Structure 1
């Protein structure tokens, strides 16, 4: 019986070693799927990319360095304070050119760095692939309703403050394709057309990159835009996508 037991033990160790080798190989080739590896904006989006983007809010210098390494052109904005609850210290303004092919309208969009980093990944891995898939064209402009706004959460006169109060959010309204075609949240969200499928695809893709994603499926207040933010939610790290 002992030789049989030894054989079984040897087989188990061999299987364990083989599994560990496969796991090691996967980890080396897919660092974006591991929670302890450093974020790299030039790499694909992985299981922990969203959490790492939120964490960039605590390290604006590293965030700006990552943007630069990824070829993103930006301007660092001066700190701003509007009372005890509003303002920002780490906002940047994305600029046309470099590794980004989409501009923003109005062109003065400034967000906290972690939001801008997520917007860059959203362009590369979600928006442009979805535009090619559904329209055979690229997106050249994204229309927005802004980022910074010193206000409380929507509909509240007291209580918590919006992520907009620290430029940690952005509201996306429409997409302008090459050739002039325009796809807007307010006009094209419903139905079975390519426009609706495109909007849902870019909404769903944003959920992997932003801590909060709200669309017309959430409430009437978002019937004409997507709300994206990088809210830090402590140990729970829960994410909202609707």
Structure 2
């Protein structure tokens, strides 16, 4: 009984402490404050995932964090384009630090996650493997009012894709600063390949693994034939890294 009472008291004390920090009654360094605003450019730490998830849930926090990234974008008016299709709190990225052509329309959570992936995962991996940054990210599209593609196109009667709400981006390739082009269709290391591939394959592996840190869902060529030529990146759906 004493142990149970002690455990309850500890839980109450922890909850009270967390509430005091959240309301500002107790002041602590931003570094240790879970409710401090997300600084997407700061090196990730053990609270980054919590802050990113909170920013993606709360539109005002997301837009505030996005504004601090330095990316150039246009706010898009909320709109509905069909049953289960449309977007809210979305932007069109004009300059994301890397070239994106055409400029994708993305929800704020997607744009924020893209920035963090590009900044903290993609660029460090490119510099480590090639000694230079990625200058452009090639993609197959973002917003599209369609159902989930399970391998034979958008299946009628299936659930809407995350693309239908601007919560997804399909990345097909990378262009390095020296113009070298790396594509998922050509350079992804295949399971049946006689060799594991070179630095291009390694960079794609690094990019895929890094995306799983900053997006809710990531699907690559090893998932199914429908993704043989791109990475599907999304927010707001089920947690998956395939």
TM-score interval, normalised by the smaller of the two chains:
0.7 to 0.9
Unaligned stretches of 5+ residues in structure 2 = 1-27, 190-195
> Which residue of structure 1 lines up, in the alignment, with residue 178 of structure 2?
179
- Tell me, in whole angstroms, the C-alpha distance in 1 between the residues paired with 2:68 and 2:108: 14
> CA RMSD of the aligned region, Å?
2.1
* 3-state SS of paired residue (2:171): strand
After superposition, give the CA deviation of every residue in 1:161-183 in whole Å (9 maximum; x if it has no partner): 11111000110000011121000
- Tell me, in whole angstroms, the C-alpha distance in 1 between the residues paired with 2:54 and 2:62: 9
Query: Over alpha carbons, which structure has the higher Rg?
Result: 1
After superposition, give the CA deviation of every residue in 1:91-147 in whole Å (9 maximum; x if it has no partner): 112222xxx5311022x2110011100111111111111111111111111010111
* 3-state SS of paired residue (1:64): helix
Q: 2:108 matched to 1:113? A: yes
* 3-state SS of paired residue (2:200): helix
CA drift at 1:220: 1.0
Q: 1:154 to 1:54 in 2, by over 3 A?
A: farther
* 3-state SS of paired residue (2:125): helix
Q: 1:48 to 1:149 in 2, by over 3 A?
A: farther
> Which residue of structure 1 lines up, in the alignment, with residue 7 of structure 2?
none
Unaligned stretches of 5+ residues in structure 1 = 1-26, 234-238
> Which residue of structure 2 lines up, in the alignment, with residue 241 of structure 1?
241
Judge which range, 77-86 or 197-206, deviates more: 77-86
TM-score w.r.t. length of structure 1 = 0.77
TM-score w.r.t. length of structure 2 = 0.77
* 3-state SS of paired residue (1:170): strand
Is this contact kept in 1: 2:86–2:145, CA < 8 A?
yes
> Which residue of structure 1 lines up, in the alignment, with residue 45 of structure 2?
46
